[in-house]
Amino acid sequence: MQTKGGSSLRVVDVSELALEAQMAWFRGLAASGFPQTSVGGGFAVSTGLASNTENGAVISPSLLDNPHELDALLGWLRKKAVPAAVLPTGPVEPEATVQLVDRQRIAASPCGDLGPSRWSGALS
């Protein structure tokens, strides 16, 4: 985009900036000593406050292909019993997004578990 004086303006995606800021916030919370856990493709942090802006996980999109590691990370957050956000560090395939959302529905169901070979729940 050009302005009248010839300088160019950069188009900014505010949602991208918000996501980056939230990931930086979680990293800062983890660095300042709040309880945390990590797996190969991500980490989770919990402040104990009832807010998904104060608790959550930062995950690489590839972690969605590793149910064991993802279950370990999300299970840790579930045990904290607080709302939490799950933030991917890059683009996520639509199928992986559906699987993650389905994990939330399963966790909210009375049984809450599909067994070790399937997606077995997410944050409630």
> What pLDDT score does 92 carry?
85
Q: How many CA atoms lie within 13 A of 11 on its CB side?
A: 3
Q: In this predicted model, what pLDDT tens digit does every residue of 61-101 receive, in sequence order?
A: 988 888 889 888 888 998 999 999 999 999 888 888 887 77
Tell whether the model's pLDDT for residue 102 goes beyond 90.
Answer: no
pTM for this structure? 0.74
Distance CA 78, CA 122 (A): 8
Measured CA distances, 65 to 27, 70, 71, 122 (Å): 23, 8, 11, 15
Distance CA 66, CA 115 (A): 15
Tell whether the model's pLDDT for residue 108 goes beyond 70.
Answer: no
- H-state helical runs in the chain: 14-31, 67-80, 94-108
Measured CA distances, 14 to 23, 42, 87 (Å): 14, 24, 16
Distance CA 90, CA 82 (A): 25
Written as six digits, the tokens of 44 are 């989770």
Cβ 124 vs Cβ 104: under 8 Å: yes
> What pLDDT score does 123 carry?
44
Boundaries of every domain in the chain: 14-108
Tell whether the model's pLDDT for residue 120 goes beyond 80.
Answer: no
Over residues 28-42, mean pLDDT: 96
